Amino acid sequence: MSDFSINNFFSLDGKVALVTGGSRGLGLHAATAFLLAGAKTVFISARKAASEQGIDQAVTRLNKLPGIKGKAIGIPANVAQVEDIERLVAEIKRHESRLDILVANAGATWGGPFEPTPDWSSQKVLDLNVRGVFNLARLFTPMLSSSGSKQDPSRIIIVSSTAGSNVPHVGEHGTIMYSASKAAAHHLARNLAVELGPRNITTNTVAPGFFPSKLANGLIEHLGGQDQLERDNPRGRLGEPQDIAGVMLFLCSRAGNYVNGEDIAIDGGVRLAAGRLTKL
Ligand SMILES: NC(=O)c1ccc[n+]([C@@H]2O[C@H](COP(=O)([O-])OP(=O)(O)OC[C@H]3O[C@@H](n4cnc5c(N)ncnc54)[C@H](OP(=O)(O)O)[C@@H]3O)[C@@H](O)[C@H]2O)c1
């Protein structure tokens, strides 16, 4: 008989997490999952605090989740800027001495035809999706490392995209630099897995397909709308909040202790389906 228990396999009891871009969309889904799974403190960060989709309204909603033992705390920060990340580290230390989970989720995209691409758009995408993620990992490593152990490592989850491994959109609404930035995020995670594994931190990537959100909704419309994309997907639907929640809980709980340097697509399988309508 194997001698282990699966009681509380997916529990995050007592854990402290930071989710960047936690005010809406996928980041808010992850923060919700962490609190429902028993996390003690979930920090959410984004640039805007008081706006309609800012941090404050998200913190209020998170703290009203039924049955939670922990709490959400919002800290505004632009994680494309290293000084703001340094301030975020200092502010988190004022509340908590440990950090068990870092979700580098905040991301930016830009779409348009190839040749007229304004250079600022490439800079914005790379600064947040690559440089920002690298700096987040780098500057939070001391806290994560001192919170992790051999049997229960701290976790870094980078929210990438299936666009990091396929070529999703070229032409009029092309997202070439976004796609390249997400490919870089995947490889950054593999490097961090090897660099930080010995320091009791695992690093993995989750790669969503389409989930309705402020970031994705424009592109969903350009591609024919939600109904069309649902018909194109092997599972017949787009992503829903619990789809992100389930994978996040797996990777951040005891269930995912030994997974390091992996990339998990959450897209219903549509990344594999290119060309299936080709007439032979
Ligand atoms: N939704 C999808 O279909 C999909 C698919 C594949 C991958 N993804 C990835 O999933 C992640 C989240 O996307 P989403 O769809 O949830 O987008 P979203 O709804 O637009 O949310 C983006 C979040 O990031 C924050 N943010 C943006 N720029 C920031 C910055 N410089 N510093 C700090 N926070 C910043 C936003 O708040 P503020 O504006 O207030 O800063 C917001 O909280 C991204 O990395 C995206 O590439 C999404």
On the question of pLDDT at 261 being above 60, the answer is: yes
| Cα–Cα distance for residue pair 120/123, rounded to 1 Å | 5
Nearest CA to ligand 1 atom 46: 107
CATH architecture of 16-265: 3-Layer(aba) Sandwich (3.40)
Nearest atom in ligand 1 to the alpha carbon of residue 182 is 47
| Cα–Cα distance for residue pair 77/240, rounded to 1 Å | 27
Residue 77 · residue 19 · CB < 8 Å: no
Nearest CA to ligand 1 atom 44: 107
Percent of the chain with pLDDT strictly greater than 90:
92
For residue 44, the surrounding DSSP H or E stretch is strand 41-45
Residues involved in catalysis = 178
Range 153-175 average pLDDT: 95
β-strands 154-159, 101-104 pairing: parallel
Measured in Å, residue 40 CA sits from the centre of ligand 1 at 24
Measured in Å, residue 126 CA sits from the centre of ligand 1 at 14
Nearest atom in ligand 1 to the alpha carbon of residue 44 is 43
Average pLDDT over the chain, rounded to an integer: 95
Measured in Å, residue 8 CA sits from the centre of ligand 1 at 30
Nearest CA to ligand 1 atom 7: 161
Nearest CA to ligand 1 atom 14: 25
pLDDT at 4: 87
On the question of pLDDT at 277 being above 60, the answer is: no
CA distances in angstroms from 12 to 9, 39, 95, 147, 192, listed in the order given: 9, 5, 18, 14, 23
pLDDT (tens digit, 9 = 90+) per residue, 197-255? 999 999 999 999 999 999 999 889 988 999 999 999 999 999 999 999 999 999 999 99
pLDDT grade for 1, boundaries at 50, 70 and 90 = confident
pLDDT (tens digit, 9 = 90+) per residue, 169-194? 899 999 999 999 999 999 999 999 99
Under 8 Å CB-to-CB from 61, ≥6 apart: which residues? none
Measured in Å, residue 24 CA sits from the centre of ligand 1 at 8
pLDDT at 3: 85
